[in-house]
Amino acid sequence: MASGILSRSLSLLKSSTFLLSTKQPQLFSSSFNQKKTFYCQSAPTYFSYKLVASVTCRMNSSRLATFSTQSVSSNEPVVSVDWLHANLKQPHIKVLDASWYMPNEQRNPLQEYQVAHIPGALFFDVDGISDRTTNLPHMLPSEEAFAAAVSALGIENKDGVVVYDGKGIFSAARVWWMFRVFGHDRVWVLDGGLPRWRASGYDVESSASGDAILKASAASEAIEKVYQRQAVAPITFLTKFQPHLVWTLNQVWKNIEETTYQHIDARSKARFDGVAPEPRKGIRSGHVPGSKCIPFSQMLDGSQTLLSNEELKKKFDQEGISLDKPIVTSCGTGVTACILALGLHRLGKTDVPVYDGSWTEWGGHPDVPVSTSEA
């Protein structure tokens, strides 16, 4: 069986206006602005990324112009919408829609993917591609399970992966982190996500092909087969687990005493202080003793793109965080903590672990200490 969101959405897609289509997906331009027209010379003058391969595209002048194509350095965690547009048809660039929303937002990411997504993008189910042995939400799956799911999506180790979401930068950062945990560094977040793509006037695709929807379902089913010890399809994506990028409850608890790592919490200040209730029932309010609060939104500008190096550094400096010392991040369920890790990666700290269980695990555990702050 597919995951909850996929199984519910697939039944809707098959029975209502969201019909699975075997026809060519439709392309339509964003209504936000006029469609952007590119003008360029025969050399990739306007792109600063390293040239390894090239793709040709027909311009208004009817001449053929060449864009530089190979991905930016893995030291830079994001790519621009202009870069992705220029490289979208490269065979070894795979695009994933990893949209995910809080339960109280009542948004269905798979349905939204069906309505409008970047051409050729596949849907990555954050809840579905997860550990099936725990009740904690979207925990990191096993190596074998992740390899099976990503292989079902048609991704190989030679591919560069660009991840985006429907908010700008939100859940895409979680999937960026997941790929890195399993040893794949050629992964980037689309800066500004689908909103910036559409605001730039680039086409989106509707009526996702049956193949695209079935791949999303196959990825979730592959996960279940692994945990049920059933045979799965051939693996095309090999993992190399990076344990230093993931923390457990025991490591966080130990760090309270040792204070080797600076612990940053990405939740809102009110939740951190314990004056606002947690969105999930049965979870205590407050924070891990000794941790500091930098809400994930402080990593982004008004258009939901990642801040510059200078602006990011200022945010951490203001909270007394030293970039010369180790850092670990957490949040509510391990999603927005990855946005902090994304910002720190831009500043050169590429080894920041994320506490996967985050506050849902810590606040739900009766035996661990919890601190609150005065309102």
**Considering Cα of 169, then 145, then 357, then 135, what sign does the dihedral take?**
positive
341-361 burial, b at 16+ Cβ within 10 Å, e below that, comes to bbbbbbeebeebbbbbbbbbb
Q: Which residues are catalytic?
A: 331
| Rounded CA separation 29/10 (Å) | 26
Q: Tokens standing for 89?
A: 């048809």
Q: How many CB atoms lie within 10 A of CB 81?
A: 24
Joined tokens for residue 289: 């003793």
Matching residue, tokens 């060449």: 66
- 204-to-36, 154, 298, 335 alpha-carbon distances in Å: 13, 21, 29, 26
Of 195, 155, 158, residue with least CA distance to 175: 155
> Which residues fall within 8 angstroms of residue 30, CB to CB, at 6 or more apart?
197, 198, 199, 200, 201, 202, 203, 204
